[in-house]
Amino acid sequence: MQVPDIYFLPEWGKFFETKEAGGEWRVFEMKNEKGHVYYQFIVRPTPVQVDGARYSDIITPYGFSGPIILKCEEGQRQQLAAEFQEQFQRYCEEQRIVSEYIRFNPWLRNRLDFEDYYEFRDNGHTLYIDLTGEDYFMEQFSSSSRRQVRKAVKNNVSIELNFTGSMI
C-alpha cells in the first residue's frame, strides 16, 4: 500500500501506540468498487463503564493524518466518503468508541472529503521550511531567526542529527 505521507505509515502509528497509556493501534480500511479509504488511529480506554461494559475513545497518532482516500473512481468521492463514514460509525458502535480526535493533514487537505461528518476547530497555523531552494537559510528564515542561529553558532551550540532513534 502506498501512503502519501510519513504520518500515514503503519510504523508511525505503531510507535505512537506506545505513547498513549493503554492505547492500541488499529486500522480501519474500506475498499470497494468506488475506491479505497485508509484510517489509522489509537484506541484508548476511558474510565467510563456502564453496566459492566468498557468504553473507549480514539485519537490519531501525533502528526497529521486522519482518514484518507487513497484511490477513488472518477466522480465517486462524495459517495465513497459517505459509505466510509457509515461503515466506520457501525464499527465505533460495535467497539464502544464514544469520541474521536483527528489531526487532519493540512497539506493533503483530506479533511475536505469529510467536512460533512466532522466538526472542525482551527488550532493555529502550520509552518514549514522549504528545503529545496538554493539557500533556504536566507530564503526561508526571517532576519531575527537568522540572527538567533548565528548567535547559537557563536556560542558553540552544537546540533546532532539522529536518523536511527538510537539516542532516544
Residues 10 and 54 in one domain: yes
CB-count exposure of residue 77 (10 Å: 0-12, 13-18, 19+): middle
Task: Looking at the structure, tell me whether residues 84 and 147 fall in a common domain.
Answer: no
* Same structural domain, 99 and 133: no
121 domain-assigned:
no
Q: Which amino acid is at 42?
A: I
Rounded to an integer, the average pLDDT of 1-8 is 88
Distance CA 30, CA 36 (A): 6
Per-residue pLDDT band for 93 (boundaries 50, 70, 90) equals: very high
Which phi and psi (to 5°) does residue 59 adopt?
Answer: -145, 145
Residues 101 and 147 in one domain: no
- On whether both 10 and 73 belong to a single domain, the answer is yes
Rounded CA-CA distance 20/162 in Å is 23
Q: Which residues of 56-75 are buried (b: 16+ CB within 10 A; e: fewer)?
A: bbbbbbeebbbbbbeebeee
CB 87 within 8 A of CB 30: yes
- Do residue 46 and residue 109 come from a single domain? yes
Nearest of 55, 68, 126 to residue 102 by alpha carbon: 68
**What does the alpha-carbon distance between residue 12 and residue 118 come to, in Å, rounded to a whole number?**
24
Does 142 share its domain with 91? Answer: no
Which of 42 and 3 is assigned the larger pLDDT? 42
Cell of 83: 459509505
pLDDT of 99-152, one tens digit each?
A: 999 999 988 999 999 999 999 888 777 777 888 888 888 888 889 988 998 999
- Check whether residue 109 and residue 133 sit in a common domain: no
- The domain of 148 spans 129-163
88 and 12 share a domain?
Answer: yes
Q: Are residues 52 and 108 in the same domain?
A: yes
- pLDDT computed for residue 167 by the predictor: 59
Residue 168 lies in a domain: no
Q: pLDDT tens digit string along 75-86?
A: 999 999 999 999
* Number of structural domains in the chain: 2
**Is residue 122 situated within a structural domain?**
no
Domain membership of residue 103 (yes or no) is: yes
